[in-house]
C-alpha cells in the first residue's frame, strides 16, 4: 500500500473514500466535518441521521468508523470516524490509532482502493501534530492488508504537512507526492 502526502483540502480529493474527522453525534460540526457537509450537500447528513435512528442511537463511539454516501463530493463514500479529544492526563493514543485502523477496515469492506485521511483529532480536538502524525502513519503502515492500494494524508497547511513529512521520514520512507 502506497502512502502519499498531499497539501490541500480533503473535500477536493478524487478518491474512492474520504475520511471525516466527525464527532459522535454524526450531525456535523466544524473543521473537516463542516467542510464535508457543506461541500457534499444534504445527502450525507440524511444518511447520518438514518444511522442515528438505527444502529447508532447513542452516537458513533470514539475510535469507530461508519460509511455514508459522499453526496456531491468527488468521492464515492465518506467514512466518518470519531477521534479522541486530546488529554494531558490520560493516554488516548489507542483510540486515535483505532480511528485509522477502523476507517481502513471499512474502506476495504466497501471495496475502496484509494482513501484520503485528514489529520484526525489535530484540530478542534487538540492533539499535538507531531504525535498525531506519528500515530497516523505508524497505524496505517501496520494495518492488516485490505483492498486499499493508496492512502493519502491530506494536510491543510504547511505546518501539518511538515509534521507528516518528518514522521514519514522517521518510518524510513521516502515522501511520495502525487
- Is 11 a binding residue for ligand ADP by CB under 6 A? The answer is yes
What's the burial of 93, exposed, middle or buried (CB within 10 Å: 0-12/13-18/19+)?
middle
**Choice from 3, 5, 6, 10 touching ligand ADP (CB under 6 A):** 10
Give the Å distances, CA to CA, from 67 to 26, 70, 78, 107, 151.
Answer: 11, 9, 6, 8, 17
The grid coordinates listed for 137 are 502513519
- Is 35 a binding residue for ligand ADP by CB under 6 A? The answer is yes
Shortest CB 145 distance to ligand ADP, Å: 26
Instruction: Give the pairing type, strands 17-22 and 150-155.
Output: unpaired
Gap between the Cα atoms of 146 and 153, Å rounded = 17
Q: Catalytic one among 33, 91, 131, 176?
A: 33
- Is 119 a binding residue for ligand ADP by CB under 6 A? The answer is yes
**Choice from 154, 163, 167, 168 touching ligand ADP (CB under 6 A):** 154
Active-site annotation, residues: 33
Task: Give the binding site for ligand ADP (CB under 6 A).
Answer: 9-11, 21, 30-33, 35, 83, 118-125, 154, 156, 160
Amino acid at each position: 500500500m502506497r502512502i502519499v502526502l498531499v497539501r490541500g483540502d480533503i473535500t477536493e480529493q478524487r478518491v474512492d473514500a474520504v475520511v471525516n474527522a466527525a464527532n459522535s453525534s454524526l450531525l456535523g460540526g466544524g473543521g473537516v466535518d463542516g467542510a464535508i457537509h457543506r461541500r457534499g450537500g444534504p445527502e450525507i447528513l440524511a444518511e447520518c441521521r438514518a444511522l442515528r435512528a438505527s444502529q447508532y442511537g447513542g452516537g458513533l463511539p470514539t475510535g469507530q468508523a461508519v460509511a455514508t454516501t459522499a453526496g456531491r463530493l468527488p468521492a464515492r463514500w465518506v467514512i466518518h470516524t470519531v477521534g479522541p479529544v486530546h488529554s494531558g492526563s490520560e493516554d488516548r493514543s489507542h483510540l486515535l490509532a483505532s480511528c485509522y485502523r477502523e476507517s481502513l477496515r471499512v474502506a476495504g469492506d466497501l471495496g475502496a482502493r484509494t482513501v484520503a485521511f485528514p489529520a484526525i483529532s489535530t484540530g478542534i480536538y487538540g492533539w499535538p501534530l507531531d504525535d498525531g502524525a506519528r500515530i497516523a502513519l505508524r497505524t496505517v503502515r501496520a494495518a492488516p492488508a485490505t483492498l486499499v492500494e493508496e492512502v493519502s494524508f491530506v494536510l491543510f497547511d504547511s505546518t501539518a504537512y511538515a509534521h507528516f513529512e518528518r514522521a514519514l521520514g522517521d518510518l524510513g520512507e521516502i515522501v511520495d507526492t502525487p
